[in-house]
Amino acid sequence: MPRPRPRPRPLPRLASDSWAGAFAVGSPEYTACIAAGAGTVLAATERMYLLRPGAAGLLARDTPEGMGDVVAVAVEARRPARFAVAGVDSLAIFDGDAVAFVRFPEDHGEPKDLAWGPAGAGDPRTTLYVGFDTGMLLRLVPEGGDFEQLALPGAVDVAVKARALASDEAGGLAFACFDEQDWNLDVWMLTDATEWSWLRRSVVAPSFVSGVEIAVAGMAAAVSFERGGVWITRAKEQEFAEVEALRGGGPIAFEGAAADAALFCAVPDGADAQAIVRVDAAGDAARIGEITAKDNDLSPLLPIRALAWDATRRTLWSAAGRAGVLRSTAPGAPPPMGAAAAS
Categorise residue 295: left if φ over 0, alpha if ψ from -120 to 50, beta otherwise: alpha
Residue 11 lies in a domain: no
| pLDDT, position 24 | 94
d(CA 343, CA 341): 6
Contact 213, 221 (CB under 8 A): no
Lateral strand order in the sheet of 220-224: 213-217, 220-224, 230-233, 241-242
| pLDDT, position 16 | 46
Residue 8 lies in a domain: no
| pLDDT, position 62 | 97
Residue 313 lies in a domain: yes
Length of the chain: 343
| pLDDT, position 342 | 64
Give the 3-state secondary structure of residue 70: coil
Domain total of the chain? 1
Residue 7 lies in a domain: no
Give the DSSP letter string of 125-173.
EEEEEEEETTS-EEEE-TTTS-EEE---TT-SSGGGGEEEEEE-TTS-E
Which residues are registered as beta bridge partners of 33?
A: 44
Residue 3 lies in a domain: no
> Domain holding 72: CATH number?
2.130.10.10
| pLDDT, position 107 | 86
| pLDDT, position 105 | 84
Exposed/middle/buried for residue 33 (C-beta within 10 Å: 0-12, 13-18, 19+): buried
Q: What is the longest distance spanned by two Cα atoms in the chain?
A: 54
Residue 241 lies in a domain: yes
For residue 185, the enclosing domain spans: 20-329
Residue 288 lies in a domain: yes
Residue 230 lies in a domain: yes
| pLDDT, position 207 | 87
| pLDDT, position 295 | 60
Tens-binned pLDDT, residue by residue, of the chain (343 aa): 555 544 445 566 555 458 999 999 999 999 999 999 999 999 999 999 999 999 989 999 999 999 999 999 999 999 999 999 999 999 999 999 999 999 988 888 999 999 999 998 889 999 999 999 998 999 999 887 788 888 765 554 444 468 999 999 999 999 999 988 899 999 999 999 999 899 999 999 988 888 999 999 999 999 999 888 999 999 988 999 999 999 998 999 999 999 999 999 999 998 888 999 999 999 999 999 999 886 655 555 789 999 999 999 999 999 999 999 999 999 999 988 754 456 5
